[in-house]
Structure 1
């Protein structure tokens, strides 16, 4: 029996997995390390792998820090690890791309940054988590379908918040949602800056129909629903959110996936967990199709549109040739349930309706050939 090596690459000091942050469980953030989700994918693939007399050896490869990551990546390359599942910040993803070259297939599990699918893309790099652009397109499609107009945007001070604003602005222009105004919030221990996080002051303007909060950190967004000055729905980083997965999804085999993950990990499945699970399923799908192919061959097959995976979201999922992003529906949800699924009915595309979410081929800045 042939065996391929799979490494889940992450950082010990990743702030997303700090004990305090996991305890607070901000909406849309990881609920825990992704190893259990990858293991669930391997368990699900047992029959398919046995059919091709193949096995997968999973390695939990953690670097102490971003500075220590190049050494770990060099070791993975030396050990001929063929599949790298990257649970890394965008800088770490780029380090992995540079280190792997054409010797490994890389799947980005948890960085939604559009630049990784654009100017910083790579032929060997695929993405299973929806991008910022996909998430904002999904949200704005829902708002447009409901004729919810005149958004009052609250933006955080970080560089990641600026990326969220850029994705929001693009989607709002695309689907005709008006931005009534933009205010910047700031969480601070300085009494002189207390008003910068005062939800009533920040939302005092009356000329808006909803509040969009763009908060990559999550701490401010958690305080906003039902705390606005005007009685307005909250969307974005809390309230109505675009998500890769929701544990209350009740169709297409979703309950079975969520139930098995909860049994294995002892917690609800998040979008990042789903991303890790589907990445492993994509690895298995390409192995079944081409058991003896090189990493380059697997990347070409996946980006060639010939291989599909079942993500328990309805349609068969495939990767885009131009940027390596996994096409997929996106949930519109709140804490207790799913209220919609994008693309919404009536949204059209010349070839593939799932490509209405995110950067389409004609817009893509990615120049890496598959």
Structure 2
């Protein structure tokens, strides 16, 4: 027998359609602009082929797009939308001009995949909140911080604290420190020393290394010479470029682990992380981008989720309201705990993953590490250590 729909079904259905139509038509749009290098040397084919741990694997716009696609239904249900634009910048002046142009065109939030100086130039050129997706410089979170700047990528101090906690948990307390010759390596080595001091480790010797095509300088990057003459539990290598660090494991005089920028590395993400729904995140990204998800991609993905959360909150008023909405966001990063932004430096609290490139070996904070309020604040500068004069 043929069943007839209840008489009340048609009015109810029409009413639902009528209610949904104005929402779609009048959706609140959050305009955001990503400013990134126009010709990024980090994305040169030779570098991408080597897959350096901790280095980007492709454009960060791909992580943003995956996040916005995932939150599309939630945005539609809230009558909100995120419109993402990209702006290439070949210089600090171009980055500043792109920021000003984006603000004039109605952008409410800027995102940057830029060096520290360029990021500061962008933040100072506009009155918009700025999401830093990639630069790990501690000074952006400390003495050079900005009240409307948020950091999705972990800081250098967070990475070194994660490694230090891991070394302490394994009782590898005596360290040989190998440091590259670039100014960036010198700054990062100072950060490593701060983490070593914070967690009571000991540097038995600190030695510089130098990669060179000059045969007379070949010994300056000889692992056997560099790792001889001392007794140590682990070798900590600081190599921003990554070329020396990736060849160091299994080439030391003593059979000891290598950590830092080679061997065991602390990262925000690794595609082989297998807990808390992480495999599904990595699969969705790999399907969309045709490559594995890196730590930088995860930071961009989290930025997309922060944008969606702000759009759904739909703050009214000046741009400061958007910054407040982002600051209050409670985010899920598929790392097993809720993530939030620190009030004193704009850094996203997050667990760190320790990986050798093949899989995730451990997580930080390490088991047994305690904090009076939030154990995630054992990674990076805690509130009593803040140097940010513009803390919220």
The 5 A counterparts of 1:222-261 are 222-261=246-285
* Equivalent position to 1:13, from 27, 30, 39: 39
Who is 1:142 aligned against? 166
- The two structures have a TM-score, normalised by structure 2, of 0.91
Who is 1:308 aligned against? 330
For 2:362 and 2:233, locate their aligned partners in 1 and report how far apart those are by CA, in whole Å. Answer: 20
Residue ranges of structure 1 left out of the alignment (5+ in a row): none
Are the equivalent residues in 2 in contact too, given 1:155–1:165 (CA < 8 A)?
A: yes
CA drift at 1:112: 0.3
Deviations 1:90-143 (A, max 9, x none): 11101111111x2x2210000000000011101110001000000100110010
* Equivalent position to 1:322, from 339, 344, 350: 344
Q: Secondary structure at the match of 1:68?
A: helix
Who is 2:138 aligned against? 114
Who is 2:376 aligned against? 354
CA drift at 1:208: 1.0
The 5 A counterparts of 1:30-69 are 30-69=56-95
Are the equivalent residues in 2 in contact too, given 1:225–1:239 (CA < 8 A)?
A: yes
The 5 A counterparts of 1:86-105 are 86-100=112-126, 102=127, 104-105=128-129
| Deviating more after overlay: 45-54 vs 239-248 | 45-54
| Deviating more after overlay: 146-155 vs 72-81 | 72-81
CA distance 1:135–1:78, shift in 2 (3 Å): same
CA drift at 1:205: 2.2
For 1:205 and 1:93, locate their aligned partners in 2 and report how far apart those are by CA, in whole Å. Answer: 43
* Equivalent position to 1:4, from 26, 30, 53: 30
For 2:318 and 2:293, locate their aligned partners in 1 and report how far apart those are by CA, in whole Å. Answer: 32
Are the equivalent residues in 2 in contact too, given 1:52–1:291 (CA < 8 A)?
A: no
For 1:54 and 1:292, locate their aligned partners in 2 and report how far apart those are by CA, in whole Å. Answer: 13
Are the equivalent residues in 1 in contact too, given 2:205–2:230 (CA < 8 A)?
A: no
Q: Once superposed, which parts of structure 1, at least 4 consecutive aligned residues long, lie more than 3 Å away? A: 290-294
For 2:375 and 2:389, locate their aligned partners in 1 and report how far apart those are by CA, in whole Å. Answer: 23
Q: Does residue 192 of structure 1 match 2:212?
A: no
CA distance 1:291–1:44, shift in 2 (3 Å): farther
**Could you say which structure has the larger radius of gyration?**
2
Deviations 1:184-235 (A, max 9, x none): 0001111111110111101112311111110011011011011112111100
For 2:45 and 2:86, locate their aligned partners in 1 and report how far apart those are by CA, in whole Å. Answer: 19
Who is 1:340 aligned against? 362
CA drift at 1:291: 4.1
The 5 A counterparts of 1:264-275 are 264-275=288-299
Who is 1:367 aligned against? 389
Who is 1:85 aligned against? 111
CA drift at 1:64: 2.8
